[in-house]
Chain A
Amino acid sequence: MITVENLTKSFQGVNALNGVTLDVESGTVLGVVGPSGAGKSTLARCVALLERPDSGAIRVDGTDITSLDGSALRAARRQIGVVPQGDSLLRQRTAAGNVALPLESAGVPGPQRRTRVGELLDLVGLTDKATAYPDQLSGGQRQRIAVARALAANPSVLLADEPTSALDPETTGSVLTVLDRARAELGVTVLVVTHDMGVVRKICDDVAVLEQGRVVEHGKVLDLVGNAGSRTSSALLPAVDLNPINESAYDRVADVVLVGFAAVGALLPEAAHRFGVELNIVGGGLTRLGETPVARFRLGLNGERSDSALEWIGEAGGAVQRSLKGPQGVAA
């Protein structure tokens, strides 16, 4: 759907983007994360067609949009709905008027415009605020109106730069819900830039970690969490080593990541039963990534066939990340 190829951009000698390559599958949500100054906003501004990259391509449905001008550029902009960072609503227009702006730009006639605005206000749950002015809305409501505006002209891509920064956790939830609904109900492809891993945890299918203008990690969130060394797993999974354990009490100690209801619910008891080993959870815990339960446990095993049990867990879909005690390198 969107592919970013080898994008570079520098400002007066500062290389903000150093050859960024990414892709976002149609109808999925990609989270772009990374430390301050990593180039996230620069990337977002390039995709929003507010900034021209020095080199590289940004393709939407295969077409490079970086070198367009005039009416072709404006048409491409309508394909990409943007929720800018910070307050971006027209203060002299009602919520409905703000949502209507892209439709006016696209030349949609009045009656159709009103219908569409109604649908979008409904999508973001603010039908009752149609005639309110931005100054009369809360930060989260304003942000949801900004999302509705971004979606008004039926874009295939929705881009949001820090949509939840400066919002409290509850309000953040309402904005994320709206982004998620946009994907689920309208099928848009979403690219969300954030410094908050909580956003990745709640709505992202994929994640790209940017550092110093480079992508240092990119993939499906559920794949990356199974990868012990990944930044995504350390940021999103429960810590396993909060409590010191008595390693001498076990023949084997290993960390394992389990993804999905079936794995989390049944894999460990099954392994214990099959191989006749004693299997204790000595650290870690359970979390949720989107709708999917994910666990990272530190296991203590006793019994002759402990290694076989670990191997079986790996084969059955658990990611056995490391053996802390006993033979190394037992991995899925």
Chain B
Amino acid sequence: MRSATPWSDVISYLVEATGETLYMVGVSTVIATVLGVPVGVWLQLTAKGGLRPNTAVHRVLGFVTDLGRSMPFIVLLVALTSVTRLIVGGSIGSTAVIVPLAVGAIPFVGRLVQNILSEVHVTVVEAAITTGASTLKIVRSVLIRESLPALINAIGVTVIALIGYSAMAGVIGGGGLGDLAIREGYQRFNDRVLWSTVAWLAVLTTVIQLGFTRAARAADRRRHASV
């Protein structure tokens, strides 16, 4: 039994691991949003009653999406090693984790987005169609703009989920808070590091969640407009 890690060390561990987590999660969220939103839009456009109904495309895209979603992240992490090496030039480290995180999150975001877009009322969409708007215009100004608050919340949900997934980053040397808790805290019986990390993760996710809730509310024009 060694003596407890000094607080100053705990803090520097946390700072470093937080940096790694935010880097991994941040970049993969951006990628998953940039690629996942179009997937969700495409799913909704091709759905029955969508703007460009196409059962075949919808089925195939839906199948691939759900396959991606059902894949355990740890499997994705190791299965994508060669792809990762190709993209980022290595298969170890925080940057390498971004590839499987993004790949895992794209179908997740896609389904969330499709569900949200399908909530826009058909009369509202049809009204826009009758104005002679192009499909692109309707996607942007109606589907996405009308559901922006819900979409922002969905990205928040994705960020939190990715923080969870990124805990497994340690498997390929990605570091981050999850890895800190497991390797330093749990495997070395370092309770101080373990519980500090857990507490810090709770604070971090709460703050992030709160931030997204705020942003979603700010995007919702209905509530804070003057009459």
Chain A interface residues toward B at CB < 8 A: 48-50, 74-78, 80-82, 84-94, 101-102, 104-106, 131-136, 146, 149-150, 152-153
Contact = CB atoms under 8 A, between A and B. Distances in A.
Given A50-B126, A84-B123, A91-B146, A105 B221 contact: no
Interface string B55-85: 0000000000000000000000000000000
Contact of A84 (B127, B132, B225): B127
Contact of A74 (B123, B132, B141, B142): B132
6 A-B pairs closest in CB distance:
A88-B127, A102-B131, A82-B130, A78-B132, A77-B132, A105-B133
A260 to B, nearest CB: 38
Contacts of A150: 130
A132 B129 CA distance: 23
Contacts of B128: 90, 101, 105
A49 B130 contact: yes
A91 B129 CA distance: 16
Contact of B221 (A75, A86, A92, A153): A92
Nearest to B227: A136
B222 interface: yes
A149 to B, nearest CB: 7
Interface string B104-122: 0000000000000000010
A92 B146 contact: yes
B3 interface: no
A101 B128 CA distance: 8
A142 to B, nearest CB: 12
Contacts of A134: 222
B137 interface: yes
A139 B210 CA distance: 35
Interface string B130-147: 111110010001100110
Contacts of B133: 74, 101-102, 104-105
Contacts of A133: 221-222, 225
Contact of A146 (B127, B141, B146): B127
B32 to A, nearest CB: 24
Interface of B: 121, 123-124, 126-134, 137, 141-142, 145-146, 148, 220-222, 225-227
Contact of B129 (A50, A86, A87): A50
Contacts of B132: 74-78, 102, 105-106, 153
B220 A92 contact: yes
Contact of A132 (B121, B131, B225): B225
A125 to B, nearest CB: 17
20 contacts: A74-B132, A74-B133, A75-B132, A86-B123, A88-B121, A88-B126, A88-B127, A90-B141, A90-B146, A92-B148, A94-B225, A101-B141, A105-B128, A105-B133, A131-B225, A132-B225, A133-B225, A134-B222, A136-B225, A153-B131
B137 A87 contact: no
B37 to A, nearest CB: 17
Contacts of A90: 124, 128, 141-142, 145-146
A89 B134 contact: no
B127 A104 contact: no
B193 to A, nearest CB: 46
A77 B227 contact: no
A88 B123 contact: yes
A132 B224 CA distance: 11
Contact of A78 (B126, B127, B131, B226): B131
Contact of B131 (A85, A105, A135, A136): A105
A326 B133 CA distance: 65
Given A77-B129, A77-B132, A131-B226, 15 more contacts: A50-B130, A75-B132, A76-B132, A77-B131, A80-B130, A87-B121, A87-B124, A89-B124, A90-B128, A90-B145, A92-B145, A92-B222, A104-B133, A135-B222, A153-B131
A94 B134 CA distance: 21
